[in-house]
Amino acid sequence: MPVVSPKIEASSPHVMNTYGRLPIALSHGQGCRVWDVNGNCYLDALGGIAVNTLGHNHAKLVPALQDQISKIIHSCNYYHIPNQEALAKKLVELSGMTNVFFCSTGLEANEAALKLARKFGHDKGIERPEIVVYEKAFHGRSIATLSATGNPKIQAGFGPLVEGFVRVPINNIEALKVATANNPNVVAVFFEAIQGEGGVNPMHLDYLRELRALCDQRDWLMMIDEVQCGMGRTGKWFAHQWAGIVPDVMPLAKGLGSGVPVGAVVAGLKAADIFQPGSHGTTFGGNPLAMRAGVETIRIMEEDGLLENAARVGAHLNQGLARALAAELASGAVREIRGQGLMIGVELAKPCGTLVQQCADNGLLISVTADTVIRLVPPLIMSEAEADEVIQILCPLIRQLLQTP
Protein backbone atom coordinates (compact mmCIF):
# COMPACT_ATOMS: atom_id res chain seq x y z
CA MET A 1 0.00 0.00 0.00
CA PRO A 2 1.59 3.29 -1.07
CA VAL A 3 1.79 5.79 1.74
CA VAL A 4 1.11 9.49 1.26
CA SER A 5 4.16 11.76 1.50
CA PRO A 6 3.77 13.85 4.63
CA LYS A 7 3.91 17.62 4.42
CA ILE A 8 7.30 18.53 5.83
CA GLU A 9 8.95 21.81 4.84
CA ALA A 10 11.43 21.27 2.00
CA SER A 11 14.18 23.05 3.92
CA SER A 12 14.71 24.30 7.46
CA PRO A 13 15.31 28.05 7.61
CA HIS A 14 17.95 27.80 10.34
CA VAL A 15 19.69 24.50 9.59
CA MET A 16 22.52 24.77 7.07
CA ASN A 17 21.49 23.34 3.77
CA THR A 18 24.08 20.53 3.57
CA TYR A 19 21.84 17.62 2.64
CA GLY A 20 19.23 17.13 -0.05
CA ARG A 21 16.67 15.83 2.41
CA LEU A 22 13.49 13.90 1.73
CA PRO A 23 10.34 15.58 3.05
CA ILE A 24 10.11 13.02 5.86
CA ALA A 25 10.74 13.32 9.60
CA LEU A 26 11.06 10.05 11.49
CA SER A 27 9.54 9.89 14.92
CA HIS A 28 10.17 6.38 16.27
CA GLY A 29 11.03 2.85 15.29
CA GLN A 30 10.76 -0.77 16.26
CA GLY A 31 13.11 -3.40 14.87
CA CYS A 32 13.55 -2.76 11.13
CA ARG A 33 10.51 -0.47 10.94
CA VAL A 34 10.30 3.26 11.45
CA TRP A 35 7.35 5.65 11.55
CA ASP A 36 7.30 9.27 10.50
CA VAL A 37 5.59 12.09 12.35
CA ASN A 38 2.48 11.60 10.22
CA GLY A 39 2.16 7.94 11.12
CA ASN A 40 3.47 6.45 7.85
CA CYS A 41 5.45 3.25 8.34
CA TYR A 42 8.67 2.37 6.47
CA LEU A 43 10.81 -0.73 6.24
CA ASP A 44 14.33 0.45 7.02
CA ALA A 45 16.90 -0.90 4.54
CA LEU A 46 19.29 2.00 5.22
CA GLY A 47 19.71 1.84 9.01
CA GLY A 48 20.70 5.50 9.29
CA ILE A 49 23.50 4.77 6.75
CA ALA A 50 24.81 1.50 8.20
CA VAL A 51 24.58 2.83 11.76
CA ASN A 52 21.57 1.18 13.41
CA THR A 53 23.17 -2.24 13.84
CA LEU A 54 20.49 -3.42 16.26
CA GLY A 55 17.60 -1.69 14.50
CA HIS A 56 15.35 0.56 16.55
CA ASN A 57 14.20 0.36 20.18
CA HIS A 58 16.11 -2.87 20.80
CA ALA A 59 14.83 -4.59 23.94
CA LYS A 60 18.33 -5.23 25.30
CA LEU A 61 20.09 -2.04 24.19
CA VAL A 62 17.57 0.55 25.37
CA PRO A 63 17.50 -0.44 29.08
CA ALA A 64 21.31 -0.62 29.13
CA LEU A 65 21.59 2.90 27.70
CA GLN A 66 18.92 4.17 30.10
CA ASP A 67 20.90 2.70 32.96
CA GLN A 68 24.07 4.40 31.71
CA ILE A 69 22.41 7.78 31.20
CA SER A 70 21.09 7.73 34.76
CA LYS A 71 24.62 7.03 36.08
CA ILE A 72 27.01 9.16 34.02
CA ILE A 73 26.88 10.33 30.41
CA HIS A 74 30.26 12.05 30.08
CA SER A 75 33.29 12.31 32.31
CA CYS A 76 36.35 13.08 30.08
CA ASN A 77 39.71 11.52 29.47
CA TYR A 78 41.39 13.08 32.53
CA TYR A 79 40.02 10.04 34.37
CA HIS A 80 39.88 6.36 33.64
CA ILE A 81 36.72 5.15 31.92
CA PRO A 82 36.38 1.43 32.71
CA ASN A 83 34.25 0.61 29.66
CA GLN A 84 37.01 1.97 27.39
CA GLU A 85 39.15 -0.92 28.50
CA ALA A 86 36.22 -3.33 28.16
CA LEU A 87 35.42 -2.21 24.60
CA ALA A 88 39.10 -2.02 23.61
CA LYS A 89 39.68 -5.56 24.92
CA LYS A 90 36.72 -6.80 22.90
CA LEU A 91 37.80 -5.03 19.67
CA VAL A 92 41.34 -6.34 20.09
CA GLU A 93 40.05 -9.90 20.52
CA LEU A 94 37.77 -9.68 17.51
CA SER A 95 40.38 -8.11 15.22
CA GLY A 96 43.59 -9.83 16.30
CA MET A 97 45.14 -6.39 16.84
CA THR A 98 46.43 -4.85 20.09
CA ASN A 99 45.37 -1.28 21.06
CA VAL A 100 42.50 1.15 20.50
CA PHE A 101 42.02 4.92 20.45
CA PHE A 102 38.42 6.13 20.84
CA CYS A 103 36.75 9.07 19.14
CA SER A 104 33.20 9.83 18.04
CA THR A 105 32.89 9.68 14.25
CA GLY A 106 34.28 8.06 11.14
CA LEU A 107 36.24 11.03 9.90
CA GLU A 108 37.87 11.41 13.31
CA ALA A 109 38.90 7.77 13.26
CA ASN A 110 40.38 8.32 9.80
CA GLU A 111 42.16 11.53 10.87
CA ALA A 112 43.77 9.54 13.66
CA ALA A 113 44.83 6.88 11.15
CA LEU A 114 46.37 9.51 8.86
CA LYS A 115 48.24 11.04 11.79
CA LEU A 116 49.47 7.58 12.79
CA ALA A 117 50.81 7.02 9.28
CA ARG A 118 52.61 10.37 9.17
CA LYS A 119 54.16 9.88 12.60
CA PHE A 120 55.15 6.34 11.65
CA GLY A 121 57.06 7.92 8.76
CA HIS A 122 58.63 10.70 10.82
CA ASP A 123 59.70 8.18 13.49
CA LYS A 124 61.75 6.41 10.84
CA GLY A 125 63.22 9.57 9.39
CA ILE A 126 60.82 10.22 6.49
CA GLU A 127 60.17 13.95 6.56
CA ARG A 128 57.47 14.10 3.88
CA PRO A 129 55.48 10.91 4.31
CA GLU A 130 53.01 9.92 1.58
CA ILE A 131 49.96 7.67 1.81
CA VAL A 132 48.48 5.57 -0.98
CA VAL A 133 44.72 6.16 -1.41
CA TYR A 134 42.19 4.97 -3.98
CA GLU A 135 39.92 6.18 -6.73
CA LYS A 136 36.26 6.42 -5.61
CA ALA A 137 37.28 6.20 -1.96
CA PHE A 138 35.31 7.98 0.76
CA HIS A 139 36.94 8.75 4.08
CA GLY A 140 35.03 11.75 5.45
CA ARG A 141 34.58 15.51 5.18
CA SER A 142 37.40 17.05 7.21
CA ILE A 143 40.13 18.73 5.19
CA ALA A 144 42.51 15.77 5.47
CA THR A 145 39.89 13.05 4.98
CA LEU A 146 38.29 14.80 2.01
CA SER A 147 41.76 15.06 0.52
CA ALA A 148 42.10 11.29 0.91
CA THR A 149 38.62 10.84 -0.60
CA GLY A 150 38.58 10.00 -4.32
CA ASN A 151 35.59 12.09 -5.35
CA PRO A 152 36.19 15.48 -7.04
CA LYS A 153 32.65 16.63 -6.13
CA ILE A 154 33.42 16.29 -2.43
CA GLN A 155 36.70 18.18 -2.83
CA ALA A 156 35.46 21.00 -5.08
CA GLY A 157 35.63 24.39 -3.38
CA PHE A 158 37.75 23.29 -0.43
CA GLY A 159 41.26 23.54 -1.78
CA PRO A 160 44.11 23.69 -1.20
CA LEU A 161 43.86 20.02 -0.36
CA VAL A 162 46.17 18.29 2.08
CA GLU A 163 49.21 16.96 0.23
CA GLY A 164 50.98 13.68 0.62
CA PHE A 165 48.55 11.31 -1.08
CA VAL A 166 49.25 9.00 -4.03
CA ARG A 167 46.06 7.84 -5.75
CA VAL A 168 45.63 4.49 -7.48
CA PRO A 169 42.73 2.42 -8.93
CA ILE A 170 41.29 -0.42 -6.84
CA ASN A 171 42.14 -4.08 -7.41
CA ASN A 172 45.22 -3.42 -9.52
CA ILE A 173 48.47 -4.36 -7.81
CA GLU A 174 50.57 -3.47 -10.85
CA ALA A 175 49.18 0.08 -10.91
CA LEU A 176 50.05 0.38 -7.23
CA LYS A 177 53.60 -0.84 -7.82
CA VAL A 178 54.07 1.61 -10.69
CA ALA A 179 52.63 4.54 -8.72
CA THR A 180 54.94 3.89 -5.78
CA ALA A 181 58.06 2.82 -7.67
CA ASN A 182 61.20 4.67 -6.53
CA ASN A 183 59.19 6.59 -3.95
CA PRO A 184 60.84 6.10 -0.56
CA ASN A 185 58.32 8.48 1.09
CA VAL A 186 55.38 6.06 0.98
CA VAL A 187 54.49 4.97 4.52
CA ALA A 188 51.00 3.47 4.25
CA VAL A 189 48.11 2.31 2.09
CA PHE A 190 44.67 3.45 3.17
CA PHE A 191 41.43 2.02 1.78
CA GLU A 192 37.94 0.65 2.46
CA ALA A 193 37.69 -3.16 2.25
CA ILE A 194 34.38 -2.52 0.49
CA GLN A 195 33.96 1.04 -0.74
CA GLY A 196 30.64 2.37 0.54
CA GLU A 197 29.88 5.84 -0.78
CA GLY A 198 31.86 5.09 -3.94
CA GLY A 199 29.21 2.56 -5.01
CA VAL A 200 29.67 -0.66 -2.95
CA ASN A 201 32.94 -1.69 -4.63
CA PRO A 202 34.64 -4.65 -2.93
CA MET A 203 38.40 -5.08 -2.89
CA HIS A 204 39.12 -8.55 -4.26
CA LEU A 205 40.37 -10.99 -1.63
CA ASP A 206 43.44 -11.83 -3.73
CA TYR A 207 44.25 -8.15 -4.00
CA LEU A 208 43.99 -7.76 -0.23
CA ARG A 209 46.41 -10.65 0.30
CA GLU A 210 48.88 -9.29 -2.26
CA LEU A 211 48.64 -5.89 -0.65
CA ARG A 212 49.31 -7.37 2.80
CA ALA A 213 52.46 -9.01 1.46
CA LEU A 214 53.58 -5.79 -0.22
CA CYS A 215 53.02 -3.77 2.96
CA ASP A 216 55.17 -6.25 4.90
CA GLN A 217 57.86 -6.24 2.26
CA ARG A 218 58.08 -2.44 2.11
CA ASP A 219 57.34 -1.68 5.77
CA TRP A 220 54.13 0.23 5.01
CA LEU A 221 51.16 0.43 7.34
CA MET A 222 48.10 -1.32 5.98
CA MET A 223 45.22 0.91 7.08
CA ILE A 224 41.72 -0.39 6.36
CA ASP A 225 38.77 2.00 6.76
CA GLU A 226 36.07 -0.34 8.09
CA VAL A 227 33.80 2.53 9.13
CA GLN A 228 30.97 1.32 6.89
CA CYS A 229 31.75 -2.31 6.02
CA GLY A 230 32.92 -3.33 9.50
CA MET A 231 31.13 -4.35 12.71
CA GLY A 232 29.58 -7.54 11.41
CA ARG A 233 27.83 -6.13 8.37
CA THR A 234 29.44 -8.54 5.90
CA GLY A 235 28.98 -11.60 8.13
CA LYS A 236 32.44 -11.38 9.67
CA TRP A 237 33.36 -8.82 12.30
CA PHE A 238 35.47 -6.95 9.76
CA ALA A 239 35.18 -7.20 5.98
CA HIS A 240 38.92 -7.74 5.43
CA GLN A 241 38.71 -10.93 7.51
CA TRP A 242 37.22 -12.66 4.46
CA ALA A 243 40.78 -12.46 3.04
CA GLY A 244 42.33 -13.93 6.18
CA ILE A 245 44.56 -10.88 6.71
CA VAL A 246 45.10 -8.53 9.66
CA PRO A 247 45.67 -4.81 9.02
CA ASP A 248 47.99 -2.54 11.02
CA VAL A 249 45.43 0.22 11.52
CA MET A 250 41.64 -0.03 11.33
CA PRO A 251 39.27 2.93 11.75
CA LEU A 252 35.72 2.08 12.87
CA ALA A 253 32.56 4.10 13.56
CA LYS A 254 29.03 3.94 12.09
CA GLY A 255 27.63 0.61 13.40
CA LEU A 256 29.90 0.42 16.46
CA GLY A 257 27.48 2.14 18.84
CA SER A 258 24.23 1.12 17.14
CA GLY A 259 23.22 4.79 16.85
CA VAL A 260 25.23 6.42 19.64
CA PRO A 261 28.21 8.24 18.06
CA VAL A 262 31.29 6.06 18.65
CA GLY A 263 34.49 5.95 16.62
CA ALA A 264 37.65 3.95 17.15
CA VAL A 265 41.03 3.32 15.63
CA VAL A 266 42.30 -0.17 16.26
CA ALA A 267 46.05 -0.67 15.87
CA GLY A 268 48.25 -3.73 15.60
CA LEU A 269 51.78 -4.05 17.03
CA LYS A 270 53.34 -2.00 14.25
CA ALA A 271 51.17 1.02 15.07
CA ALA A 272 50.19 0.53 18.71
CA ASP A 273 52.90 2.70 20.27
CA ILE A 274 53.17 5.48 17.69
CA PHE A 275 50.95 7.86 19.67
CA GLN A 276 52.39 8.92 23.01
CA PRO A 277 50.89 11.26 25.65
CA GLY A 278 50.17 14.54 23.87
CA SER A 279 50.11 13.06 20.36
CA HIS A 280 46.35 12.99 19.95
CA GLY A 281 43.09 13.45 21.80
CA THR A 282 39.42 14.40 21.70
CA THR A 283 36.98 15.58 24.35
CA PHE A 284 34.04 13.29 23.61
CA GLY A 285 36.09 10.27 22.53
CA GLY A 286 35.45 7.17 24.61
CA ASN A 287 32.95 8.82 26.94
CA PRO A 288 30.93 6.59 29.27
CA LEU A 289 27.71 6.64 27.22
CA ALA A 290 29.55 5.92 23.96
CA MET A 291 31.55 3.09 25.52
CA ARG A 292 28.46 1.50 27.07
CA ALA A 293 26.79 1.62 23.65
CA GLY A 294 29.80 -0.09 22.05
CA VAL A 295 30.13 -2.76 24.74
CA GLU A 296 26.39 -3.57 24.67
CA THR A 297 26.18 -3.54 20.86
CA ILE A 298 28.90 -6.19 20.59
CA ARG A 299 27.51 -8.20 23.51
CA ILE A 300 24.04 -8.28 21.95
CA MET A 301 25.45 -9.10 18.50
CA GLU A 302 27.22 -12.10 19.99
CA GLU A 303 24.23 -13.22 22.08
CA ASP A 304 21.82 -12.95 19.19
CA GLY A 305 24.09 -14.41 16.50
CA LEU A 306 23.92 -11.31 14.30
CA LEU A 307 27.02 -12.11 12.23
CA GLU A 308 25.40 -15.34 11.17
CA ASN A 309 22.14 -13.46 10.55
CA ALA A 310 23.87 -10.81 8.42
CA ALA A 311 25.51 -13.52 6.32
CA ARG A 312 22.35 -15.61 5.92
CA VAL A 313 19.83 -12.80 5.33
CA GLY A 314 22.36 -10.95 3.17
CA ALA A 315 22.78 -13.99 0.91
CA HIS A 316 18.99 -14.42 0.81
CA LEU A 317 18.51 -10.77 -0.17
CA ASN A 318 21.29 -10.88 -2.75
CA GLN A 319 19.94 -14.05 -4.38
CA GLY A 320 16.34 -12.84 -4.20
CA LEU A 321 17.28 -9.62 -5.97
CA ALA A 322 19.18 -11.56 -8.62
CA ARG A 323 16.14 -13.78 -9.22
CA ALA A 324 13.68 -10.88 -9.35
CA LEU A 325 15.96 -8.90 -11.69
CA ALA A 326 17.16 -11.83 -13.81
CA ALA A 327 15.84 -10.39 -17.08
CA GLU A 328 17.31 -6.95 -16.37
CA LEU A 329 20.66 -8.49 -15.45
CA ALA A 330 20.63 -10.48 -18.69
CA SER A 331 19.85 -7.36 -20.77
CA GLY A 332 22.47 -5.27 -18.96
CA ALA A 333 19.93 -2.73 -17.68
CA VAL A 334 20.97 -3.89 -14.22
CA ARG A 335 24.75 -4.05 -14.43
CA GLU A 336 25.58 -5.94 -11.28
CA ILE A 337 24.42 -6.94 -7.83
CA ARG A 338 27.40 -6.99 -5.49
CA GLY A 339 28.54 -6.77 -1.92
CA GLN A 340 28.75 -9.11 1.02
CA GLY A 341 26.27 -9.90 3.78
CA LEU A 342 24.01 -6.96 4.50
CA MET A 343 26.04 -4.49 2.43
CA ILE A 344 24.55 -4.77 -1.04
CA GLY A 345 24.82 -2.58 -4.11
CA VAL A 346 22.60 -2.88 -7.17
CA GLU A 347 24.19 -1.01 -10.05
CA LEU A 348 21.90 0.14 -12.85
CA ALA A 349 22.93 1.27 -16.31
CA LYS A 350 21.37 4.68 -15.65
CA PRO A 351 21.16 7.20 -12.79
CA CYS A 352 18.59 6.16 -10.20
CA GLY A 353 18.51 8.86 -7.53
CA THR A 354 14.76 9.27 -8.03
CA LEU A 355 14.23 5.78 -6.61
CA VAL A 356 14.96 7.06 -3.11
CA GLN A 357 11.74 9.11 -2.94
CA GLN A 358 9.74 6.51 -4.86
CA CYS A 359 10.78 3.79 -2.45
CA ALA A 360 9.89 6.02 0.50
CA ASP A 361 6.48 6.68 -1.05
CA ASN A 362 6.04 2.93 -1.09
CA GLY A 363 7.23 2.41 2.48
CA LEU A 364 10.90 1.53 2.00
CA LEU A 365 14.02 3.46 3.03
CA ILE A 366 17.11 2.99 0.83
CA SER A 367 19.89 5.18 -0.54
CA VAL A 368 21.60 5.65 -3.89
CA THR A 369 25.36 6.24 -4.10
CA ALA A 370 27.61 7.09 -7.00
CA ASP A 371 24.50 8.10 -9.04
CA THR A 372 23.70 4.60 -10.33
CA VAL A 373 24.04 2.27 -7.34
CA ILE A 374 21.16 1.35 -5.02
CA ARG A 375 22.71 0.74 -1.61
CA LEU A 376 21.11 -1.55 0.96
CA VAL A 377 22.70 -1.48 4.44
CA PRO A 378 19.84 -2.46 6.77
CA PRO A 379 20.07 -3.27 10.49
CA LEU A 380 21.79 -6.62 11.08
CA ILE A 381 18.63 -7.94 12.77
CA MET A 382 16.72 -7.99 9.46
CA SER A 383 14.74 -11.22 8.87
CA GLU A 384 14.38 -13.15 5.62
CA ALA A 385 10.71 -12.15 5.48
CA GLU A 386 11.70 -8.49 5.72
CA ALA A 387 14.36 -9.01 3.05
CA ASP A 388 11.61 -10.46 0.82
CA GLU A 389 9.56 -7.35 1.45
CA VAL A 390 12.52 -5.16 0.37
CA ILE A 391 12.63 -7.11 -2.91
CA GLN A 392 8.86 -6.86 -3.41
CA ILE A 393 8.85 -3.09 -3.02
CA LEU A 394 12.15 -2.29 -4.72
CA CYS A 395 12.19 -4.45 -7.85
CA PRO A 396 8.97 -3.21 -9.49
CA LEU A 397 10.20 0.37 -8.97
CA ILE A 398 13.54 -0.49 -10.57
CA ARG A 399 11.73 -2.03 -13.53
CA GLN A 400 9.48 1.02 -13.86
CA LEU A 401 12.52 3.33 -13.81
CA LEU A 402 14.32 1.26 -16.43
CA GLN A 403 11.28 1.40 -18.72
CA THR A 404 10.92 5.18 -18.58
CA PRO A 405 13.11 6.70 -21.31
Q: Which of residues 165-204 bind ligand PLP (CB under 6 A)?
A: 192, 196-197
Residue 47, amino acid: G
Q: How many CB atoms lie within 10 A of CB 219?
A: 11
Q: How large is the angle between the packed helices 306-324 and 288-303, nearest 10 degrees?
A: 70
Candidate residues 36, 130, 225, 248; the one interacting with ligand PLP per rule CB under 6 A: 225
Report how many residues bind ligand PLP under the rule CB under 6 A: 15
Tell me the residue nearest to ligand PLP as measured from the CB.
106
Which phi and psi angles does 267 have, rounded to 5°? -125, 145
53 contacts ligand PLP (rule: CB under 6 A): no
* Contact window for ligand PLP (CB under 6 A) among 26-34, 68-76, 225-233, 325-333: 225-233
Question: How far apart are CB 59 and ligand PLP at their closest, in Å?
Answer: 26
Concatenating the DSSP letter of every residue in 248-302 gives SEEEE-GGGGTTS--EEEEE-TTTTTS--TTS---SSTT-HHHHHHHHHHHHHHH
Which is nearer to ligand PLP, 148 or 393 (by Cβ)? 148
Question: Judged by CB under 6 A, does residue 44 bind ligand PLP?
Answer: no
Please tell me which residue in 90, 119, 236, 254 is annotated as part of the active site.
Answer: 254
What is the smallest separation between the CB atom of 95 and ligand PLP, expressed in angstroms? 16
Active site residue 254: yes
With CB under 6 A as the contact rule, the residue among 58, 139, 212, 280 that binds ligand PLP is 139
Q: Is 140 in the site for ligand PLP (CB under 6 A)?
A: yes
Instruction: Respond yes or no on whether the N-terminal peptide bond of residue 160 is cis (omega within 30° of 0).
Output: yes
For position 253 contacting ligand PLP by CB under 6 A, the verdict is yes
* Contacts of residue 77, Cβ cutoff 8 Å, sequence gap at least 6: 281, 283, 285, 286
Catalytic site residue 225? yes
As to burial, measured by CB atoms within 10 angstroms (0-12 exposed, 13-18 middle, 19+ buried), residue 140 is buried
Query: For strand 41-44 and strand 364-365, is the pairing parallel, antiparallel, or unpaired?
Result: parallel
227 binds ligand PLP (CB under 6 A): yes
Among 68, 201, 228, 241, binds ligand PLP (CB under 6 A): 228
Which of 138, 191, 242, 284 binds ligand PLP (CB under 6 A)? It is 138
The residue among 346, 113, 340, 139 whose CA lies nearest residue 239 is 340
The H or E element spanning position 145 is helix 143-148
- Please list every residue from 58 through 97 that binds ligand PLP, using CB under 6 A: none
Verify whether residue 138 is a known catalytic residue: yes
Please tell me which residue in 101, 102, 120, 138 is annotated as part of the active site.
138
Q: Residue 260: how many CA atoms within 13 Å on its side-chain side?
A: 28
Site for ligand PLP in 96-125 (CB under 6 A): 105-107, 110
Which residue, 376 or 395, has its beta carbon nearer to ligand PLP? 376
How far is the C-alpha of 35 from the C-alpha of 193, rounded, in Å?
33
Which positions are catalytic?
138, 225, 254
Chain residues in the site for ligand PLP (CB under 6 A): 105-107, 110, 138-140, 192, 196-197, 225, 227-228, 253-254
